[in-house]
Amino acid sequence: MKKLLETASRVSDQAEVYSVRTDSSSLEMRNGTPTDLSASIQSGYAIRLLKDGRIGTAYTKNLLDREELVENALNSLKGNVKAGFSFPAPADIPGQMVPDDSIAAMGYHDLHRFSDRVLDHLNGKIEGQIDIHGGRGITDLSIINTSGLDVSSKTSFMYTFASLLFPNTETAVRRIFMSRKAADFPKGELDNLVNMYNAGLPEVEIPTGKMKVMFMPDSMYTLIWRLSAAASGKSFYNRISPLQNKRGEQIVSEKFTLYGDPTDPDDVSQQYFDDEGVPTGKHTIIDRGIFKDIILNLDYAEKLNEKPAGNGFRGGMWGGETISLPPAPSLQCSRIAPGSASLEEMIACIDKGVIILGVLGAHSGNILNGDFSVGLNPGFYVENGEIKGRVKDGMVAGNVYEILMNVEHVEDTLHDSVTGGKYPAILIDNVSVAAK
């Protein structure tokens, strides 16, 4: 890395080298029988050059020719992408991540063992097919630049993803468990999943109209995606955000708080610096309904005359090949602050409504403006506090700012979600529901 930085520094005003390596393996099982095994080692190097107020970038998965990589970055300067920022100098990093030895030692037999324990707990409790997907990995990340920055981290992760399929369908209730060390899927979470599955066995039709809607953790990205897009420094710089000039104003219910915290020791994505080397920390976007702050990387912090807050990440909500993506404003390790109601209490107070466990078409609607229209995949219908069954065909639509003004309850527990954040269930009143 240092030789690459030296080569890049000779032809630029400033230079940065980013490297990442992930060693991972996974196992898929269907009703206890392994259906797929995979292992991969992905690595690469990315460089960014600053020269004459412009930025050039290039990346490679195999660092065979440093000069060629630097030449590619120089050629990209012809795109005349302006960059008014500088690469950061060294700063105090609040901690150091250490991978757990239990992850490093894990093999396929261990993944099989963790999956078998889930299956053993579920056997005899449901009618349908059980799919289990388990995986583990270790990621090494390093960043150096010509301002003297030299930081690195090494983190470990594992996950177990259980899907309970309704008979003769591909519709399922799902739950993911993630950990920074080898650990069993919590039995209480599995029991809750079984209860949801059994409650959703009958297939029912639903009325059309406005009613209560409960967003479960795996459907929460429908809302988070829109709020994050509006709070992005890119949207503010281009003056297209609906939150423009609304800092300090109430934009949603006081029961709703949204923040990101990459320093959370329980998160598998824990990172004490972002992908530009800026120290991270808890970053609150919405505090009890009040819009507090925007999401910034170095570039947009400079453009908006703001202070960087460690929100520059490669990838974002939908992942992607990390090494090929430039750092962008991203709310990493996102959270919705828990409330005070249990899930059972929240269901009990629904006179008529739906529970959204998963969605289809989260990209539909004007994301930046907060509009959405999603299919239920699956959704459950509730009357008088009792789940009647899963919805045969249904959709939910609305505007995130309008519906979040009507938050009735927020669950008292955070759950891992398939998109990487940790969220509670949220019960919202007066939401438009339609039967197909």
- Which tens digits make up the pLDDT trace of 251-288? 999 999 999 999 998 899 889 999 999 999 999 999 99
Q: Position 392: which residue type?
A: K
Domains (range + CATH), the chain: 2-197 (3.30.2290.10), 203-436 (no CATH)
Q: Which pLDDT score is estimated for 315? A: 79
What integer pLDDT is reported at residue 362 of this predicted model? 86
Per-residue pLDDT, 98: 79
Identify the CA nearest to 55 among candidates 343, 297, 382: 297
pLDDT at residue 92, as a whole number: 84
The predicted structure's pLDDT at residue 436: 74
Helix, coil or strand: residue 425: coil
- Which residues lie closer than 8 Å to 36 by C-beta, 6 or more apart? 26, 27, 28
Give the bridge partners for 33, in sequence order.
30
Helical pair 108-122 and 187-199, crossing angle rounded to 10 deg: 50
Torsions phi, psi for 125 (to 5 deg): -105, -15
pLDDT at residue 119, as a whole number: 95
pLDDT of residue 93: 83
DSSP for 244-299, written as a single string: TT-TTSB-S-TT--EEE-TT-TT-TT--SB-TTS-B---EEEEETTEE---B--HH
What local confidence, expressed as pLDDT, does residue 266 receive? Answer: 86
Which residues of the chain fall short of a pLDDT of 50?
Answer: none
